[in-house]
Amino acid sequence: MYKSQDAPQPNGGMTKIKIEEAIGTRLAHDITEIRPGEFKGPSFRRGHQVQEQDVCHLMRLGKRHLYVLDLKEGQVHEDDAVMELAAALAGPGVSFGNDPKEGKLQLTAAYDGLLKVNTRGLVEFNLVPDVMCAAMHNNVPVTRGQKVAGTRAIPLVIEREALNRAVAIAQDQAPIFSIKTYHRKKIRLLITGSEVYDGLIEDRFEAIVKKKLTAFGASLLETVILPDDAERIAATVRQFSKADTDMIVTTGGMSVDPDDVTRHGIREAGVDTLYYGSAVLPGAMFQLAYIGDMPIVGIPACGIYHETTIFDLVLPRLLAGERLDERDLARLAVGGFCLNCKVCRYPACPMGKAC
């Protein structure tokens, strides 16, 4: 990007010649051909040596002049420049090809995981003249081979000074893009509620939780159903924490009803910290606690009735090993309001994209 007074001079690094004089010269850039409904792409690629039989074709494409690459000292062609840009932007788990098109390259996920974007660093990068990079949102799950960002050198020829500045920012702020793997795999589920425990109503949470965990490669090792008894809840949480458990998920008993004692039982289990409440709808009565580095997640009743809730926003981050606190839960406020669409499109929607 650049301010108007900083705009590059037209045709920098190139010499303009008549089409009739181009035979034997090499093209400075791709020449695009568009045939509506049939084809759009490069008819002639950068570096192609113009032949006599090419002249008529080029004229049919509307070309009366061609540009021959004439780089001066301190100038870099767009395709060479974007290779340097991509290398500086790509961190752990992010890859890119070696065949740029018109100065553009796409960055892809090398494996399944959580996409991390250094948003501040990306903004600084995009303030440098003549370069750009656009990306997916921060903290979204991605799969191997998925496109996560695209970068390009904007002019055909970029000044080395600007290129070096962009690369330096990306390296100083590295990683701009990275993928965190999901390493919390072993999950235990604690379902609370006397009405479920006594068989008066059938539990619906287990199937929901299991489906969401499986999507990230995690396993539900054990499910226990308990009545609204704080002491028994505390004892089971302690038992789970001493077993080979990466994360505990609890359901039920999250509201302010006097009979809802799940969070009190979790506190009695000896947690280090406990956060109650989040700036997300649905999911305001969400709970998050820790015993050491092991998270204990409390899903409120909305998890049964809504396809997407606070649980969907925090689950991939917790499975990737991140430790969230009350400020992280508060940051979810922007974008934390579900629109309750008739057909849920999450994660292809604004839900939870602010962070």
| Percentage above 70 pLDDT, the chain | 95
Q: Which of 234, 157, 166, 223 is nearest to 196 (CA)?
A: 223
CA-atom Rg of the chain in angstroms: 28
Q: What is the pLDDT of residues 306-321, one digit of tens each?
A: 999 999 999 999 999 9
pLDDT tens, position by position, 39-71: 888 888 877 788 888 888 888 888 888 877 777
- Does domain 75-180 sit in CATH 3.90.1170.30? yes
Which range, of 3-7, 13-17, 77-81, averages the lowest pLDDT?
Answer: 3-7
Q: Has residue 3 got a pLDDT over 50? A: no
Q: Does residue 9 have a pLDDT over 70?
A: no
| Record: fold of 4-69 | Molybdopterin biosynthesis moea protein, domain 2 (3.90.105)
Domain with CATH 3.40.980.10 in the chain: 186-331
Q: Where in the chain is the domain with CATH 3.90.105.10?
A: 4-69
Reported for 163-169, long-range contacts at CB under 8 A and 24+ positions apart, including other chains, are: 163/76, 163/81, 163/84, 163/85, 163/130, 163/131, 165/128, 166/85, 166/88, 166/125, 166/128, 166/131, 167/84, 167/85, 167/88, 169/121, 169/124, 169/125, 169/128
Residue 19 has pLDDT above 90, yes or no: no
Going by CATH, does the domain composed of 186-331 fall within 3.40.980.10?
yes
Q: Decide if pLDDT at 5 tops 50.
A: no
Q: Residue length, the chain?
A: 355
Provide φ and ψ at 308, rounded to 5°: -125, 125
Q: What is the mean pLDDT of residues 220-229?
A: 96
Start-end ranges of CATH 3.90.1170.30 in the chain? 75-180
pLDDT above 90 covers what percent of the chain? 73
Model confidence at 249, pLDDT cuts 50, 70, 90, reads very high
